[in-house]
Amino acid sequence: MDKQNKQFNKFIEIKDVLVRSDGRTILNIPHAVIPVDRITACIGPNGAGKTTLLKLLAGLILPDSGTVTFSFAPAKIALVLHHTPMIKASTRANLSMVMDTDSSITTEQINSILQQTDLSRLADSPAHKLSAGERQKLCLGRAILQKPNVILLDEPTANLDPNTTQQVEIMIRDFRAQGLELIFSSHQLAQVRRIAEHIIFIDDGEIKEKGPVGPFFSSPQTLAAKHYLNQELLAD
């Protein structure tokens, strides 16, 4: 086992990965080890490749070359994208869609998730008319029902008000306390500092820096990371 891997109990290893689209390289990762035994945040500028990386880890897209391997099995991944469409049906019906692919899910589990996400009072309301925060809670609940061992969250609190952001962050911490592994992308550096333990910094399709949260913020090692942090902190 690679020395770098020994510090992690569970990890995803990427080797020689290239992802291209319309003749353009979206991801170029010669080698990276991404821990999943701690909350990992994927950060970087707009268009850096964060969402593509999450889709790659979830198996929604395949690399043009290279491999993605998991140190654990089964690798059951649930991905919650920033924009997840709702069918024109009730909140309960949208949540219950997972029963189509897993017949072991019970009505009692659906009710429990509705309660856990504070959506019980909206169970019969049209899901496409929910607020952004309520839709995000629904998506998180649906992910939990899939019984994953890793949850990937793409900008989980984008465009949410501070109160709803706090509620979603509490849910994320609760998921971790329940033994679920989490990787999320975020532009909110204050949020990353609050809940992440490990950083993956991606820029122009490449992982430029990675490591524990504290050292990354206090002494970034690359010019790209220093520039990104300076720009984002000024924007805040």
Name all domains of the chain by residue range, CATH numbers in brackets: 3-87+149-235 (3.40.50.300)
Q: What is the pLDDT of residues 124-160, one digit of tens each?
A: 999 989 998 999 999 999 999 999 999 999 999 988 8
Which residue's entry shows tokens 């805040």? 236
Q: Which of 84-88, 94-98, 212-216, 232-236 has the lowest mean pLDDT?
A: 232-236
| Predicted structure pTM score | 0.90
CA distance 104 to 172: 24
